[in-house]
């Protein structure tokens, strides 16, 4: 299959998806009879990444797959598009996040034990998309 | 007794703290400015406790808790976390707590608990140890506190590292492109007879709540009702299915209306539509192409298909 075509499909898919796409997902975009395989997709990603090198965008791999994002070196001027400043996470929230990240599953009591303060239920993990199953009140 | 005495002395912070450290421990501690008030760095807390409240409040509220505050006191004086002079730290800690109380900051119970813990550690260290125990194996009363401080510091640092990680919507943004001409097939739900019956059931049960004693009964003709329903629909594009029923007619009247609606649907004079599953049913006039002539109610005549039987609902 045409390399350029594979690259174009992957680029377009990454831009259209609105979320990171794993390489497995990218492979499924191609017809089987086209004979595309994971290797080809991988090659295309490497080439694409190199092509973006000189651009304001970059292709990166995050935990859930690949995505095309704004290159951090131009993030500052781009951010002027929006009036609102991004919310700054409080230290309490970040410490709780760190505990969840390294010690999960963890109970609220265990978090309070290590941090030495009671967790403010209104503020902390709520709104960050984390599940609270174990030991949740 | 002699070794015990030296032991106590060894653990007493005053004995361990070199003379050079002593000035920092006095009330004038604070080599570095801990706040800026109107452009002036505040390096010293006024001894008469006249404190620029705004500055100090901000400073004191910045602590995440007693462990954080303790860690600050230790780090500020470059003390070894494994060998904390408990008495001195406790004294400083208490001073901050008093300040918080003077400023009437909301003082969480955890701060007081920590003060008590510090005092307990100190008194344990002052107690002579039982002779029988090996001194080397005896746990340092500070061990638990040190462990907690170290653990908290580790996660405090981890939190700072997490904050430094590039974050979507803050440090970078997802690049997107619009896919024009995207075809999304939306299948309109089919209204089944079952759903109509369920809607009817609902009307019936709701109707039961308005049930009254019927003194007299009016004869109800399905054909007449069909005409009524049709004429009520001519002025509006859509009518709520349930609005076609009149609760004051009782169960029989509602039934006749329902049968009339079914007849009208069969003849293609009206249509039942539903926007999506579980949405309310609506009734509208049918396609004029399939319009059928409605035979006026003569009381006896029956059309060829024999459908709308002129049931006089008056019976019974």
Rounded Cα–Cα distance for residues B118 and B112 (Å): 10
**Residue A51 pLDDT class (50, 70, 90 cuts):** very high
- Shared-domain flag, residues A73 and A107: no
Nearest alpha carbon to residue B67 among B157, B152, B178: B152
Range of A99's domain? 87-137
Structure tokens at A115: 């941090």
pLDDT of residue B95: 87
- CA–CA distance, B149 with B116 (Å, rounded to integer): 16
Cα B28 off chain centre by = 46
Q: Is A20's pLDDT higher than 60?
A: yes
Query: What are A116-125's pLDDT values in tens digits?
Result: 887 665 554 5
Residues of B with CB under 8 A from a CB of A: 64-68, 108, 110, 114, 148, 151-152, 155-156, 158-163, 166-179
CB of A38 within 8 Å of any CB in chain B? no
**Structural contact between residues B314 and B232, judged by C-beta atoms closer than 8 angstroms:** no
Do residues A123 and A93 touch, judged by C-beta distance below 8 A? yes
Shortest distance, CA A101 to any CA of chain B (angstroms): 9
User: Contacts of residue A78 in chain B, CB cutoff 8 Å?
Assistant: 173
Domain closes at, from A79, A104, A122: A79
My answer on whether A97 and A54 are in the same domain is no
A47 band by pLDDT with thresholds 50, 70 and 90: very high
What is the average pLDDT across A7-12? 92
> Does residue A115 sit in the same domain as residue A99?
yes
Calculate the dihedral angle through the C-alpha atoms of B227, B233, B239, B241, rounding to the nearest 10 degrees: 10
CB pairs under 8 A between A and B: 86
More confident residue, A103 or B294: A103
Helices (H), chain B: 2-11, 13-16, 22-25, 53-61, 66-76, 86-102, 109-126, 143-164, 193-209, 222-233, 250-266
Specify the CATH number for the domain of residue A98.
1.10.10.10
pLDDT > 80? residue A53: yes
pLDDT of residue B21: 42
In terms of phi and psi (left: phi > 0; alpha: psi -120 to 50; beta: otherwise), the region of B169 is left
Mutate to test the interface with A, among B176, B183, B184 (most CBs of A within 10 A): B176
What is residue A80's three-state secondary structure?
coil
- The counts of H helices and E strands in chain A are 6, 2
Tens of pLDDT, residues B192-203: 888 889 999 999
Of A63, A79, A95, the position where a domain reaches its end is: A79
Tell me whether residues B159 and A72 touch, CB distance under 8 A.
Answer: no
Query: Are A8 and A65 members of one domain?
Result: yes
What pLDDT score was predicted for residue B184? Answer: 73
User: Which among B114, B156, B173 has the least Cβ separation from residue A69?
Assistant: B173
Both A33 and A67 in a single domain?
A: yes
Query: Quick one: A37 and A92 in the same domain?
Result: no
Does residue A10 sit in the same domain as residue A42? yes
- Please tell me the predicted confidence (pLDDT) of residue B29: 47
Which of the residues A10, A61, A116 would you substitute to probe the B interface, choosing the one with the greatest number of B C-beta atoms within 10 Å?
A: A116
**What pTM did the predictor assign?**
0.51
Nearest Cβ partner for B171 among A14, A75, A101: A75
Q: What is d(CA A68, CA B180) in angstroms, rounded to the nearest whole number?
A: 19
- The pLDDT value given to residue A22: 93
CA distance B91 to A129: 42
Q: What is the mean pLDDT of chain A?
A: 82
Measured between alpha carbons, how far is residue A23 from residues A3, A27, A51, A68, B147 in Å?
A: 16, 6, 18, 14, 44
Same domain, A13 and A63: yes
CB spacing of B152 vs A70 below 8 angstroms: no
Query: Among A18, A86, A95, whose Cβ lies nearest the Cβ of B156?
Result: A95
Who has greater pLDDT, B288 or A136? B288
Q: Are residues A124 and A71 in the same domain?
A: no
Name the closest residue on chain B to residue A115, using Cα atoms: B152
Is the interface score ipTM higher than 0.85? no
Residues of chain B with pLDDT under 50: 1-30, 299-316
Q: Which of B64, B170, B61, B62 is nearest to A87 (CA)?
A: B170
Out of A39-48, A102-111, B17-26, pick the least confident.
B17-26
Tell me how far CA of residue B187 lies from CA of B208, B219, B280, in angstroms: 36, 43, 17
CATH code reported for the domain at B193-290: 1.10.10.580
User: What pLDDT score was predicted for residue B41?
Assistant: 64
* Residues of B whose CB is below 8 A from A18: 174, 176
Domain boundaries, chain B: 2-157, 193-290
The answer on A67 and A9 residing in a single domain is yes
Report the residue from A57, A89, A117 with minimal CB separation from B108.
A117
Check pLDDT > 90 for residue A46: yes
Which chain B positions have a beta carbon within 8 Å of A102's beta carbon?
155, 158
Per the structure, the count of domains in chain A is 2
pLDDT of residue B297: 56
* Residue A74 sits in the same domain as residue A125: no
Which run of H or E residues covers position A6? Answer: helix A3-17
pLDDT on residue B176: 87
Nearest CA in chain B to A93: B159
Same domain, A7 and A67: yes
**Min distance A35 CA to chain B CA atoms (Å):** 25
Among partner residues B64, B166, B174, which is closest to A117 by beta-carbon distance? B64
pLDDT score of B198:
92
For residue A10, what pLDDT is reported?
Answer: 92
Whether chain B has a CB inside 8 Å of the CB on A67: the answer is yes
Decide if A15 and B176 are in contact by the 8 Å CB cutoff: yes
For B295, other C-beta atoms within 10 Å of its C-beta total 12
| The pLDDT of residue A44 is above 70 | yes
pLDDT at A66 over 60: yes
| Backbone torsion region of residue B80, taken as left when φ is above 0, otherwise alpha when ψ lies between -120 and 50, otherwise beta | beta
């Amino acid at each position: 299959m045409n390399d350029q075509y594979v690259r174009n499909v992957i680029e377009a898919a990454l831009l259209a998806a609105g979320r990171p796409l794993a390489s497995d997902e990218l492979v499924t975009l191609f017809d089987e009879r086209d004979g595309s395989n994971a290797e080809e997709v991988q090659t295309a990603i490497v080439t694409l990444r190199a092509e973006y090198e000189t651009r304001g965008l970059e292709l990166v791999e995050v935990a859930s797959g690949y995505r095309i994002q704004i290159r951090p070196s131009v993030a500052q001027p781009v951010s002027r598009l929006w009036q609102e400043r991004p919310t700054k996470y409080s230290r309490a929230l970040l410490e709780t996040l760190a505990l969840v990240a390294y010690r999960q599953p963890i109970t609220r009591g265990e978090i309070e034990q290590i941090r030495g303060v009671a967790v403010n239920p209104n503020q902390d993990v709520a709104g960050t998309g984390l599940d609270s199953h174990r030991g949740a009140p | 007794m002699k070794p015990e005495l030296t032991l106590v002395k060894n653990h007493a912070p005053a004995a361990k703290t070199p003379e050079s450290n002593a000035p920092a421990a006095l009330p004038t501690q604070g080599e570095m400015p801990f706040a800026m008030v109107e452009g002036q760095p505040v390096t010293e807390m006024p001894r008469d406790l006249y404190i620029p409240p705004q500055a100090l409040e901000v400073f004191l509220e910045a602590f995440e808790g007693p462990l954080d505050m303790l860690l600050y006191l230790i780090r500020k004086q470059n003390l070894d976390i494994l060998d904390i002079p408990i008495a001195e730290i406790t004294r400083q800690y208490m001073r901050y707590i008093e300040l918080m109380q003077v400023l009437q900051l909301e003082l969480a119970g955890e701060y007081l608990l920590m003060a008590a813990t510090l005092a307990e550690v100190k008194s344990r260290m002052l107690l002579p140890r039982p002779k029988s125990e090996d001194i080397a194996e005896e746990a340092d009363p500070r061990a638990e506190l040190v462990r907690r401080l170290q653990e908290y510091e580790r996660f405090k640092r981890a939190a700072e590292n997490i904050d430094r990680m590039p974050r979507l919507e803050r440090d970078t943004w997802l690049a997107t492109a619009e896919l024009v001409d995207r075809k999304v097939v939306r299948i309109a739900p089919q209204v089944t007879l079952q759903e109509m019956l369920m809607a009817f059931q609902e009307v019936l049960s709701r109707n039961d709540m308005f049930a009254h004693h019927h003194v007299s009964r009016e004869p109800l003709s399905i054909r007449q009702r069909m005409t009524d329903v049709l004429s009520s629909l001519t002025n509006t594009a859509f009518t709520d299915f349930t609005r076609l029923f009149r609760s004051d007619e009782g169960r029989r009247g509602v039934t006749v209306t329902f049968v009339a609606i079914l007849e009208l649907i069969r003849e293609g004079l009206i249509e039942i539509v539903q926007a999506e599953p579980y949405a309310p049913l609506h009734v509208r006039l049918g396609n004029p192409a399939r319009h059928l002539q409605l035979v006026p109610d003569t009381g006896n005549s029956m059309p060829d298909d024999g459908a709308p039987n002129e049931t006089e609902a008056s019976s019974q």
